[in-house]
Structure 1
Amino acid sequence: MSAIAVADVWQARVVVPALNVPAFEEALCDEPLACSSFEIVDGGAWSVEMLLQGPVVRAELEGRLAQAAADMDLPAPPLSLEPLPDRDWVTQSLRALPPVQAGRFFVHGAHDRDRAQAQARSGAITLEVEAGCAFGNGKHESTYGCLLALDHLAKVRRFSRPLDLGCGAGVLALAMARLWRVKTVASDSDPWAVDVAKANARLNHLHGYVRPVRADGFAHPALSTGAPYDLIVANILARPLQRLAPAIAGHLAPGGRVVLSGLLAKQDAQVRAAYLNRGLHLVQRRRLGEWLTLELAK
């Protein structure tokens, strides 16, 4: 094979540990045509598969994977890279993704609209999300845990000023807007994620409610002017959750709730301590596999 692969569409695949899926997805490509990750060994390895627009340089992909692996003290995963025949591979790939049901939420792709309509008639809250590789389409335990938390919170009280911090594909912002029909700010530092969130808001006819913006933390006027929030959801990673604890607490209204996810069970104590030190207290703790979702109140 030549160093530069010139087919129109290529399929890249790596098998990695479950806990490291997001890092290897980001390392492999930040703007794939399509991306899917799924468990192939119960509680163990996951397959990360992407469709990439050619031309691609195998050595560059392997270099990014090796660097990501080294950062996590892991061996570099072998890369499978194959050219694909001329076909609508994006649509075919998306059709392979199953819907997700979390509490009353039914998160699905365009290929499952018929099932979604049936679920809606039964009282489900349906959300159509095409995530690509913008994180947060409901399939990962952290997003799933946040959806369960939102479903529970909606049965307890109504929120009027929610924020989705680190929105990814925007599914949590969509969920909050659909639950309470209120203006919802959604932010992410990744411009690709912001574009995907905007597209998903339009797709669900929620573009009048959900406002995705590009921001690192609270560094955007839309986030400061929207404060104080009565509900902040942050599905990111443990270190950013700790770093943002002062800002999250400072932008939260008295009596407000915070839903945190993206942290492992072993990271519970240090993340929780960062928020307890800011005057918040733990309300509920959910564990799904190795991942936690924390609900705190001010």
Structure 2
Amino acid sequence: MIGFIGGSGIYEALPLNDTREEDVTTPYGDPSAPVTVGEFADTGTEVAFLPRHGENHEYNPTNAPYRANIYALKQLGVERILSSNAVGSLREDLPPRTLLVPDQAFDRTRSRPYTFFDEGMVVHMGFAEPYCPHMAEHLVESADEATEDGAVDGGTYVCIEGPQFSTRAESEFFRAQGWDVIGMTTIPEAKLAREAEICYATITGVTDWDVWKTDAEVSLGEVLDNAAANETAIKQVVEQAIRTLPEDRDCDCGSALAGTINTPSEAIPEETKSRVDLLAGEYLD
């Protein structure tokens, strides 16, 4: 089963058959919506879809239930997650309606749960490569095959707290660092997917120039218009990526927890062990 996290408009355009809704409960609360599962076209591949912000966009970037979302997909058997994000551009050569597959992230958030492992358990997860390289490469190849302009290969996604857009000073600072796109949702999603040993990569669609470009003020209307235009291209990329995804995982994501648990098993509270059993049980036996 392949997971997809994004906007409802993209899901509704995917060729899913025999769809059903899975009401999943997790130790971290309810996911943002029931998980919609369906067979992708005639491939026999099941896709599990979650709208990140809820069915009616009721969760802002800070209070989206990231842990419940990732846990729910893990519970359903998902091993690989494709994601889509609307982002602003920090580069003159990345105009709105450009697609980009990032290979790096910079975390500027401050009010979100970043880990599954707390309350008497310490895990130091490697995160030098925040996106699964195998999945990211596959998304770029899929974009080249499915769309006329393809997707920019690599770049740094700086993730801010939101829900407000940047100040001009912040936007100019981010540009000065050489970062490429700015958004509000890849963190902690990517961190939690790694802790859950799920491959994770995202395709971003540029919706605006952020606020550094003085002749192009960012607004919700502009973002929504360009996001809608990007949906067609992103849907084409996601569809191609699912259809051609190799059967085997050619990466280390599936064993990411190995050697990262710093608390002796006997010192971890039983309640915590029970909560993380799905994620780390094999390492705590």
TM-score range, shorter chain: under 0.3
Identify, as 1 or 2, the structure richer in strand: 1
Structure 1-normalised TM-score?
Answer: 0.26
Query: With CA pairs under 8 Å and 6+ residues apart, which has the higher RCO, 1 or 2?
Result: 2
